[in-house]
Amino acid sequence: MTGGVECAAWQLQFGANVRAGGGVEFRVWAPRLTSLAVNILGERSRIVPMNHCEAGEFSVTVPDVNEGADYGFLLDGDSDRLRPDPVSRWQPNGVHRASRVVNPASFPWTDFAWKGLALKDFVICELHTGAFTTQGTFEAIIERLSYLRNLGITAIELMPVAEFPGSRNWGYDPASLYAPHSAYGGPSGLKTLVDACHAHGLAVVLDVVYNHLGPEGCYLPEYAPCLTNAYRTPWGEAINFDGPESDGVRRFFIDNALYWLTEYHTDALRLDAIHAIFDFSARHILGELAAAFRAQAQQLGRRAWIIAESDLNDVRVINPAGIGGHSLDAQWHDDFHHALYTLLTGARDGYLADFGSLDDLAKSIRDGFVYDGKYSRYRHRRHGSSSRPRPGQQFVPCIQNHDQIANTSKGERLASLVSLEQQKLATAILICSPFLPLLFMGQEYGETAPFLFFSSFQDKNLVAAVRAGRKHEFAAYYAEADSPDPQSESTFQRCKLNWVGLTESPHKELLNLHRDLLSLRQQRASLNNCRKDLTVVDFRELANWLVITRADPSPDAAMLICNFSAQAQSIPIDSAGRTWKIALCTGDSVYGGNSREAGPKNFIAAGGVASLQLAGFTAALYLAGDSESAAPIARASSQAC
């Protein structure tokens, strides 16, 4: 399989595959080896030589091996080189030990009616499996699915779950890319979670790492030339996507994407840091992967998507193939985060130095990329291309995610950095933007537990290097004495969600706001249509106010009026010939506002300019009075604004 239509009947051919007639076929791509044998472990331990096929492949079918058997590969007859399967479906005892045979046909799926979500309907909650619950497992997440669905979340995004060294890690140090992490519950645990998500009407986005290999426990380079020194990444050598023998490397990663789609029923992949993927082939690996993924999803009768993380601001990432793009479905919208975060916190360190104005925020909402070819002070050069023509559903913005919390604010969340009113203002802008909003776990109720980088590497030299590297990379953010030890168990434990006080102030009020905003977003065509082209943003830089107007081909329309000043002020509003009715005000007492302060008007009359009074750091959402059901959101405890 090399992508395109050939993947229409795709199934995983490499690794250990249980055959219908009995036995297991072992198949490996290993052009660096002259001989290979499979070592079946357990009571009937034995070594079985493998046949050397063309194109650097080795294979053998062992008739009396079944699901659950442990095995490894003996490389070039060297007894000291007993290695895990590079396409292992399960590493039950960690990255350095034996692989285990898994039969994908054995899992009792119940999601046959699930066909996926339309991309524009994604409202994402990013979470770390180990830190989301006390137990830190796939199946423990299930007890929170009803909560997420009732909140208004439609998709969960799992930070990478491929097997990594030790029991705790962000997941961006993958060693066995096909094996769900054993400490989280392994293959059965992940499938059980996905099945339960679909039963709750939730899509599953899986974060995958195709830009580098983990520094410990990844034995793929012993089998194949998967790395190249032609390019460098922040993690060392790049993946060999365009050098000699790169066809097999490309197949390995495309197969991995199709594997998660097919055997785990995932609804989308989030590709980590694609700016560290280098490929000067005539057909870029991202375009080939996207085509194969899309064809397989169509064959399976499901909607599935690919979302990229990229700091390139290169519209080719999300442009269709027909106009020279890679045709990825969406990408993370970092410029939105940076623009809003700097306004709220005043931070200007590192890449945040390029942001800090309402003009930046307005452009991120109206166009997408703020840096679209203009000069970047941080990079000392022009950066980016225009994304104005691309629809809003191709952008995934946030006000918090794992990277931004850990790397720009000493692990502190917004709840620990800004006031409740500022959090609510940012939330309203995020959810009312013409994009696919992403929340980071606990954000919706103002979690104050930090999110820090943590790991549990076993190689002592690597441990020392990671500690030194983190201190050096983030010296601008941490004093020497404050730098958390990523290897410490306590660092990880500090990052777990508390899940307490959700019925107490200020958590319940912030939770109320998220639920009501997401409910309005779901109900209103103007708020969920992702029509960036029907979004108008007006602002006054010196006066510190911003107004977002969302329209729809139907009569529906919405207007979000935002006061970025700490002081109350009157904001001039052009009614555009329509009557507007208040739907929600972040200063309402049900959202933790001060009931003694005067709120905005319940109506803005058609014709002329109105002067709207808003308290400091407050947002008011209005709906067009001539659209159907423009009444305010119903809350028994709410006081009218």
- How many folded domains does the chain comprise? 1
Q: Is 247 a catalytic residue?
A: no
The confidence score (pLDDT) of residue 1 equals: 37
Contact, 558 vs 432, CB < 8 A? yes
- pLDDT value of residue 638: 39
CATH (domain of 98): 2.60.40.10
Position 483 scores a pLDDT of 74
Residue 461 covered by a domain? no
Domain annotation covers residue 596? no
CB 198 within 8 A of CB 265: yes
**What pTM did the predictor assign?**
0.95
**Residue 435 CA to chain centroid, in angstroms?**
14
Q: What is the pLDDT of residue 633?
A: 53
Q: Which helix (H) or strand (E) holds 237?
A: strand 236-239
383 located within any domain: no
**Predicted pLDDT of residue 636:** 36
Which regions of the chain are under pLDDT 70? 1-8, 473-482, 595-596, 626-641
Q: Residue 610 and residue 612: Cα distance in Å, rounded? A: 6
Instruction: Exactly one of 173, 267, 309, 588 is catalytic; name it.
Output: 309
Q: Which of 57, 272, 421, 588 is catalytic?
A: 272
Q: What is the pLDDT of residue 460?
A: 86
List CB contacts of 266: < 8 A, sequence separation 6 or more.
194, 204, 205, 206, 260, 304
The verdict on residue 92 lying in a domain is yes
Largest CA distance in the chain: 86
Q: What share of the chain is helix, strand, coil (3-state, %, to 5)?
A: 30, 20, 45
313 domain-assigned = no
Residue 259: which region, alpha, beta or left (left: phi > 0; alpha: psi -120 to 50)?
A: alpha
Q: Residue 78's domain spans which residues?
A: 4-106
Which among 335, 317, 334 is positioned nearest to 326, based on CA atoms?
317
Q: Does residue 34 lie in a domain region?
A: yes
Residue 22 lies in a domain: yes
Residue 538 is among the residues annotated as catalytic for this protein: no
pLDDT in tens, 172-215: 999 999 999 999 999 999 999 999 999 999 999 999 999 999 99
